[in-house]
Amino acid sequence: MKNCLTLAILSASLFTCKTPLQEYNFETIIWAAAWSPDGRYVASGGNSEALTIWSADTWQVTEQHSFPKTITNTAWHPTQPKLAVTLHLTSETSVIIDMENKKKTALPGLSPEGARAAAWSPDGKLLAIGDNEGYLSLYAPGGALERQVKVDPKAIIGLSWHPEGLQIATVGSKLGFYNLETEAVRTIHHRDMPVLMLSVAWHPSGDFLALGDYGDYEQKLPPLLQFRKPNGALIKSIKKSRAEYRNLSWSSDGKTLATASDGVRLWSVEGRLLGHALNDQYLWGLDWSPDGQQLVVTTAGGAVKVLDRELGVVVSRP
């Protein structure tokens, strides 16, 4: 049987891989959640064919936008009322939505197999999209394609901008680095055996980054959380999760890393486990509130949950 890395790359979806957690319905998975920079809204989306915008005050739905099949990621512009939405398992391409007039602008040049990785540059001048054929595409806020480069040999699953905005880290079949000034691409293997990586996040200081992988249950390789230097050198490798690390997010003060896998975990900058909650659930989406006081997570079962810094659940929808 092909391993999870091959299946994930070829199918552009990851639900074919077995995990040690409970069974779930693919149609209920909410892949992504993103807190708006002003703290007023949360965008979530997945396999329900709808983008949902939640009020962070009342946790009621304020609006929904119809999309075909899977919403894989959402990313708010840091200063403008724009939201990037990536898609796959559909013939339609990813878009930028103007949240004031609701206009959708299609993003040209992406793989017909879809895309998953998305993030705006710290200054908001560029949107980076990583697609399922390994191309990194950079767009102006209006949707014009500025440049495109092949970074991963197979697919880009996650990406993160360095806080200075001059380098992008990508993960997929390899850990990649793209330098915007020199346009140089560098890739490394993060393990001795090829294992799909799903998530990456630079620390707010820019001094190191965290990445999470899928593991390989057939090969008895547990999912790993790793801390690495800007040159890719390994700082620490952690074996704690029973399920893949689908998302990572640093708090705004840089003191705490949150990870989504078999529940939500909090980690110190040294990689010390600070807490673990919802450990009976399979989490996908994850994001901190701008003030770093709350976390929003989404589940394979279709729920959106909000937790405080002590990992107590304060809101659960539905």
10, burial (CB in 10 Å: exposed 0-12, middle 13-18, buried 19+): middle
Q: How far is CA 242 from the centre of its chain?
A: 19
Answer yes or no: are the C-beta atoms of 261 and 296 closer than 8 Å. no
In the chain, the percentage of residues whose pLDDT exceeds 90 is 88
Residue 9 DSSP SS3:
helix
Provide CB contacts within 8 A for 145, sequence distance 6+: 107, 108, 109, 137, 138, 139
Averaged pLDDT for residues 6-15: 38
What CA–CA distances, in Å, run from 2 to 157, 196, 253, 278?
Answer: 19, 13, 42, 31
Between 11 and 227, name the one with better pLDDT. Answer: 227
Q: Is the pLDDT of residue 1 over 60?
A: no
pLDDT for residue 44: 98
> Distance between CA 254 and CA 96 in Å, rounded?
28
pTM of the prediction? 0.94
Strand order across the 234-238 sheet: 197-202, 209-213, 225-228, 234-238
Provide CB contacts within 8 A for 110, sequence distance 6+: 93, 94, 129, 131, 135, 137
Residue closest to 127 by CA, chosen among 116, 119, 135, 117: 119
Helix spans in the chain (H): 4-11
pLDDT for residue 143: 98
Q: Is the pLDDT of residue 289 over 70?
A: yes
pLDDT for residue 22: 54
pLDDT tens for residues 102-147? 999 999 999 999 999 999 999 999 999 999 999 999 999 999 999 9
pLDDT tens for residues 246-268? 999 999 999 999 999 999 999 99
pLDDT tens for residues 298-318? 999 999 999 999 999 999 998
pLDDT tens for residues 36-47? 999 999 999 999
Provide CB contacts within 8 A for 193, sequence distance 6+: 216, 219, 221
Q: Is the pLDDT of residue 20 over 60?
A: no
Answer yes or no: are the C-beta atoms of 69 and 89 closer than 8 Å. yes
The superfamily CATH assigns to domain 4-9+30-317 is YVTN repeat-like/Quinoprotein amine dehydrogenase (2.130.10.10)
Q: Is the pLDDT of residue 4 over 70?
A: no
